[in-house]
Structure 1
């Protein structure tokens, strides 16, 4: 019988590229995939070759939305899961209902931790942090199959909970590179991703005072957007900083290809940030765009393996500008050989092999047949 996988996540699904790639790979390799998300923050129209649905959430606050989603997800899983099902939970905020149903039906559960959820900056010191730590402590040591998004995350979970996750980096699919590198005037520095605290965005805005003939483009949305827009105005940098808003993934890829320099200068906003390998790094590598990088473990590891950009000394605006100016002085052409080498290694085609091995082991252990 064809294996069924129910993938669930506290997500509106539309912009979650990791879940899209994972479900696509599983579907293309013969699994019957059903994806469950929610309509928190909207439910934009999307098409997928497999079944998907979004749980409607009536909650007005994120705190109550989590409880509502977990309650409704449990009841969805009760109806949809059977003895031929592998459950696939994405992040701790979808884990507990999957764990309960997996125990109830004695079926496999694969957990994908995109980050260290209990150590995210947004919940530091809050009651919700205690709740998510409780879920982690209760469920994760009981798991057999777990994947996570960086080697540093994997080592953290092993030390904390005694489980060794398989590392499946959130790399994009291999992008054949056959475009002419644009000769921008002014040059373009690109930030892409959520406009959240600890991303170094406010620091790079201030760094624009120390650059010439450069335009900073900020693609994304988030809780800090208005504050950073106001910072641009107060610093009189409107001619040097442009906010592009939230772009569709396919539109963002086109913008990335045009940049002279990307950036991933996350600050140490807690262990989830400290040990992360941000998507934007791997996206820029596939677009063959050099980066400025902060000195966090996974970013330093990339730089040690591949000369794809420059590390910033610290988050002082002058030092950020120095790294930007160094990249621009060398030019995008200079970094192409190393970016090409990195793009061949850090791509989804390599990562999905490890993903499929995990689901194959889960299938075999519960008597499923290919």
Structure 2
């Protein structure tokens, strides 16, 4: 059956759902009529989604997660039943239940895109009842899916082993190809940073497992020629800001953003060096391929990343930066200083970023993704 209409189900605020944006855009480019059902926490205008039909289900920030989830399931189920399509594309674990019900009642196939490895997710690792619920839930609904895809080879192999399913597709979190902006001083100008200072950049969520407290502590030993800029938002932001004040680093560490995904490269390109130092809080992190790793390559910015299998495969394989132990503050500061001082090494990494940026883009894998899902 030729796929003409696809509905995407996402339990995430579409401001931050870059993978959902890319997959929906790929099906739209292939000639499909696309609708994306996501969530929203506020009334802030959604930027960058003008060409993709989207409907955002209101979620209340002050409601418990369980209640919000049940409300989302009900609303999503009725929206799926009301809207006609040939295929439902389920992004990550949370929408699986209503997607499965609607697919059974309407006789439609669905795709399951596993963004994470829930058997090794830090959110459930030390909560046995919660872990049992979500892993059993995933087991119930993963097998009826027409196809299962995920973000890295190790996660794909784990899903095949645990659930006895065949051929989980791997489509990594590569960015859309973008032109590098000519103005690379936006961050300097907007944050009042002296233009002689080199920006070391983190972009993403401010969460416990991102290791940003270690990075901030490490920055005490980083050469004064550099400043640290943290782009994003999250539950740990206030604690991190307090830590900067406590360590008297508030004049060298700056917080800004977040920015829409279609504008992010303007800010990423201002950096001298990118940081992708997540902690090993379970296999989901250990096997991950973070967006920011590829976004730094796309912006031609060398990086310092965690020495985990998939991250190391790309960073070392393409020679675009250094991989280190993300828990070692002394090693973090030493590696940053090395790349601030060793100009020839830095230039080699930057040249390799330029080459790799032509290959590591979503456009090079999107047709394979559509064929796999069809």
Please confirm whether the aligned pair reaches a TM-score higher than 0.5, indicating the same fold.
yes
Q: Where in structure 2 are the equivalents of 1:138-217 lying within 5 Å? A: 138-163=140-165, 164-177=167-180, 179=182, 185-212=196-223, 213-217=225-229
Distance 1:144 1:285, change over 3 A: same
Q: Is the 8 A contact 1:310 1:327 kept in 2?
A: no
Q: Where in structure 2 are the equivalents of 1:330-349 lying within 5 Å? A: 330-331=342-343, 332-349=346-363
Question: In 2, Cα distance between the equivalents of 1:254 and 1:53?
Answer: 28
Give yes or no for the alignment of 1:311 onto 2:314: no
Question: In 1, Cα distance between the equivalents of 2:53 and 2:227?
Answer: 42
Q: 1:366: which partner in 2? A: none
Residue 314 of structure 1 and its aligned partner are, at CA, apart by 4.8
Q: 1:24: which partner in 2? A: 25
Q: Is the 8 A contact 1:34 1:51 kept in 2?
A: yes
TM-score, normalized by length of structure 1? 0.90
Aligned length: 358
Distance 1:238 1:286, change over 3 A: same
Give yes or no for the alignment of 1:65 onto 2:77: no
Aligned alpha-carbon RMSD (Å): 2.1
Q: Is the 8 A contact 1:14 1:43 kept in 2?
A: no
Q: 2:261: which partner in 1? A: 249
Q: Where in structure 2 are the equivalents of 1:85-164 lying within 5 Å? A: 85-117=86-118, 119-126=120-127, 127-163=129-165, 164=167
Paired residue for 1:293, among 295, 302, 305?
305
- Where structure 1 has 5 or more consecutive residues not aligned to the other structure, the ranges are 361-370
Distance 1:327 1:147, change over 3 A: same
Q: 1:75: which partner in 2? A: 78
Residue 179 of structure 1 and its aligned partner are, at CA, apart by 4.7
Residue 176 of structure 1 and its aligned partner are, at CA, apart by 4.2
- Where structure 2 has 5 or more consecutive residues not aligned to the other structure, the ranges are 186-193
Q: Is the 8 A contact 1:196 1:224 kept in 2?
A: yes
TM-score, normalized by length of structure 2? 0.89
Runs of 4+ in 1 over 4 A off after TM superposition: 176-184
